């Protein structure tokens, strides 16, 4: 049996998703699998999967976890996902919940216990399957203990001796930081409780565990890899990241064009592409249909419509957008907001919809099909993020011919060629400031109004950008080679 790259993740689309992590892990392992890299995924079995039609079946009913309170066991389910195995770790009291990590009251009180359990189960399952993986590829804090377990266990257990680990940071702001007393139940040796280990200002930090002990650490864009080495974006972990800088790599995420492609999008009323013989008539029909669907004024079909899709939280800069809505309304544009998050931001967006009925629509929540139609039916896409490790929605917007207006941070800087460059695919502004954001939007609106040929050229360039997972996959294959594995 060929040794595999085993991805460990708390989310994987279409089985689970709360944001970009689910999208990435739904596409990245599969892209590598199709490139000939033996790949599988281990993820939690969330309760909603019981009613889903994904061909998931029980494969192990008594997997012993080796958890500090033996003889606890879990069930392991399995599915064949386009020829790639996906394993699901199930224990009802941990994963049969409406939400993945929190509800409207805040984070679940036992998140540390839940994901210690998950990480320990990953190691127990791999041992039971009998073939040590070539690479354990962990993602974000929920799987951060996996590289730490591997680091210590391979020193004494020959089974793990030739396995290497990669820790990918999707968002450094979410670290899995818990009380120090919870460290005693995680199963790591006492020497892991150190400044260069899992200890963080007296707390137990799961993401820091992965950063400290993984053989390689990656982030999801080159710019973000540089940004997190300093205090502005390092979220307190810049010290250990600087210490591990030799092992730190920034690899830009990819977009899943099998799902996000207007030329074959099942959610659109009309499909289109950059080589459509009818020009952009298809996109215009998508815009007209979206205005009708959301009850917006029909005359906006002849004005710029601005779309925002994302969490309604400070990171995404939703407050910057809400602050400038009255100024935008003076320019007779339409605004569409889709997302959920901070209750105050949700309420404020809904209040603005009442004030500007027919010209602003705010939908609290998220549905996949509507997100596709907003990408296709908007003229300009808004991403005023305060920080953005990579971002996927701007990649989707580019493919849908919807030039973004975005802060020049992280992956946004790496994916958008800013106007007024002759090769521009969008607009960027320097820092999270409402006035700078407004000025950048108005640059886009003026360009849309006064230079139709130039705007269509920008749309065409945007749609032809290649941020495919095949491109990103080659970078990961090279990374695995550096760890001593050649899957060619």
How far is 488 from 483, CA to CA, in rounded Å?
A: 14
pLDDT at 1 over 60: no
pLDDT at 12 over 60: yes
Name the pLDDT band for 275 (thresholds 50, 70, 90).
confident
Tell me if 238 sits within 8 A of 211, measured CB to CB. Answer: no
> Residue 384 corresponds to which tokens in the numbers above?
């005023």
Q: pTM of the prediction?
A: 0.92
Whole-number Cα distances in Å, 169 to 166, 191, 413? 10, 24, 18
pLDDT at 349 over 60: yes
Name the pLDDT band for 20 (thresholds 50, 70, 90).
confident
| pLDDT tens track for 200-211 | 999 999 999 999
| pLDDT tens track for 145-197 | 999 999 999 999 999 999 999 999 999 999 999 999 999 989 999 999 999 99
Range 282-296 average pLDDT:
97
Q: What does the pLDDT read at residue 18?
A: 86
Name the pLDDT band for 66 (thresholds 50, 70, 90).
confident
Supply the mean pLDDT for the chain: 95
Q: What stretch of H or E contains 418?
A: none
φ and ψ of 62, to 5 deg: -145, 50
pLDDT at 69 over 90: no
φ and ψ of 96, to 5 deg: -90, 75
Q: What does the pLDDT read at residue 248?
A: 98
b/e burial code for range 315-341 (CB count within 10 A of at least 16 → b) = bbbbbbbbbbbeebbeeebbbbbbbbb
Per the model's pLDDT, the better-predicted residue between 70 and 117 turns out to be 117
Name the pLDDT band for 276 (thresholds 50, 70, 90).
confident
Tell me if 295 sits within 8 A of 301, measured CB to CB. Answer: no
Q: Where are the beta strands (DSSP E) in 21-115?
A: 39-44, 57-64, 73-81, 84-90, 102-103, 106-107
Q: What does the pLDDT read at residue 166?
A: 98
């Amino acid at each position: 049996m060929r040794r595999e790259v085993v991805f460990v993740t708390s989310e994987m689309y279409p089985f689970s998703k709360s944001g970009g992590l689910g999208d990435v892990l739904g596409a990245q392992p599969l892209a590598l699998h199709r490139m000939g890299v033996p790949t599988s995924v281990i993820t939690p079995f969330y309760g909603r999967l019981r009613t889903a039609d994904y061909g998931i079946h029980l494969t192990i009913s008594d997997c012993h976890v080796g958890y500090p309170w033996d003889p606890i066991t879990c069930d392991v389910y399995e599915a064949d996902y386009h020829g790639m195995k996906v394993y699901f770790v199930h224990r009802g009291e941990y994963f049969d919940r409406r939400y993945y990590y929190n509800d409207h009251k805040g984070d679940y009180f036992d998140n540390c216990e839940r994901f210690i359990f998950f990480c320990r189960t990953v190691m127990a399952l791999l041992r039971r399957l009998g073939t040590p993986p070539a690479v354990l590829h962990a993602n974000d804090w929920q799987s951060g203990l996996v590289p730490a377990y591997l680091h210590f266990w391979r020193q004494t257990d020959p089974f793990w001796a030739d396995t290497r680990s990669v820790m990918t940071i999707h968002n450094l702001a979410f670290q899995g930081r818990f009380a120090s007393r919870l460290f005693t139940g995680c199963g790591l040796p006492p020497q892991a409780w150190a400044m260069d280990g899992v200890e963080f200002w007296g707390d137990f930090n799961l993401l820091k565990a992965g950063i400290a002990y993984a053989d390689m650490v990656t982030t999801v864009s080159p710019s973000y890899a540089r940004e997190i080495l300093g205090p502005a974006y390092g979220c307190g972990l810049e010290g250990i990241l600087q210490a591990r800088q030799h092992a730190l790599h920034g690899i830009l995420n990819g977009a899943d064009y099998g799902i996000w492609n207007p030329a074959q999008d099942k959610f659109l009323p009309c499909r289109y592409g950059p080589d459509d013989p009818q020009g952009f008539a298809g996109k215009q029909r998508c815009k007209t249909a979206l205005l009708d669907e959301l009850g917006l004024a029909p005359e906006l079909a002849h004005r710029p419509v601005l779309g925002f899709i994302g969490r309604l939280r400070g990171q995404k800069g939703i407050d910057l957008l809400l602050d400038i809505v009255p100024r935008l309304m003076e320019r007779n544009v339409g605004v569409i907001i889709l997302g959920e998050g901070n209750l105050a931001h949700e309420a404020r967006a809904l209040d603005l919809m009442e004030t500007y009925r027919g010209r602003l629509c705010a939908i609290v929540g998220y549905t996949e099909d509507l997100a596709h139609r907003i990408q296709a039916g908007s003229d300009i896409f808004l991403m005023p993020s305060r920080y953005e490790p990579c971002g996927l929605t701007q990649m989707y917007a580019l493919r849908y011919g919807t030039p973004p207006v975005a802060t020049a941070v992280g992956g946004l800087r790496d994916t958008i060629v800013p106007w007024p460059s002759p090769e521009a695919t969008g607009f960027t502004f320097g820092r999270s400031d409402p006035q700078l954001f407004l000025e950048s939007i108005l640059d886009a609106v003026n360009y849309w109004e006064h230079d139709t040929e130039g705007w269509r050229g920008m749309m065409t360039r945007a749609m032809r950008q290649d941020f495919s997972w095949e491109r990103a996959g080659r970078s990961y294959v090279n990374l695995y080679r550096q760890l001593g594995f050649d899957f060619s």
